Amino acid sequence: MKLHTYYRSSASYRVRIALNLKGLAAEPAYVHLSKDGGQQFGAGFDAVNPQHLLPVLEDDGFVLTQSLAIIEYLDETRPGVPLLPADPRGRARVRALSQAIAADIHPINNLRVLKYLGGTLGIDEDRRNAWYRHWVSLGLEALERQLAASPETGTFCHGGAPTMADCCLVPQLFNARRFDCDLRRYPTLMAIDARCAQLAAFDAARPELQPDAD
Interface ranges with a copy of itself (CB under 8 A)? 49-53, 62, 64-66, 68-70, 72-73, 76-77, 88-89, 91-93, 95-96, 99-100, 102-104, 106-108, 113, 116, 120-121, 123, 127, 130-131, 134, 139, 141-142, 145-146
Distance (Å, rounded) from C-alpha 194 to C-alpha 173?
11
Q: How far is the CB of 176 from a copy of itself (least distance, A)?
A: 17
Report the residue number, 78 or 206, with the smaller CB distance to a copy of itself.
78
Q: How far is the CB of 21 from a copy of itself (least distance, A)?
A: 18
Report the residue number, 159 or 206, with the smaller CB distance to a copy of itself.
159
Distance (Å, rounded) from C-alpha 46 to C-alpha 43?
5
Q: How far is the CB of 74 from a copy of itself (least distance, A)?
A: 9
Report the residue number, 10 or 20, with the smaller CB distance to a copy of itself.
10
**What is the SS3 assignment for 133?**
helix
Report the residue number, 134 or 185, with the smaller CB distance to a copy of itself.
134
Q: Which CB contacts under 8 angstroms, 24+ apart, belong to 55-60?
A: 55/3, 55/4, 55/5, 55/9, 55/11, 55/12, 55/15, 56/3, 56/4, 57/1, 57/2, 57/3, 57/4, 57/15, 57/26, 58/1, 58/2, 58/3, 58/4, 59/1, 60/1
Report the residue number, 78 or 195, with the smaller CB distance to a copy of itself.
78
Distance (Å, rounded) from C-alpha 48 to C-alpha 81?
29
Report the residue number, 103 or 197, with the smaller CB distance to a copy of itself.
103
Q: How far is the CB of 209 from a copy of itself (least distance, A)?
A: 26
**What is the SS3 assignment for 76?**
helix
Q: How far is the CB of 99 from a copy of itself (least distance, A)?
A: 4
Q: How far is the CB of 160 from a copy of itself (least distance, A)?
A: 21
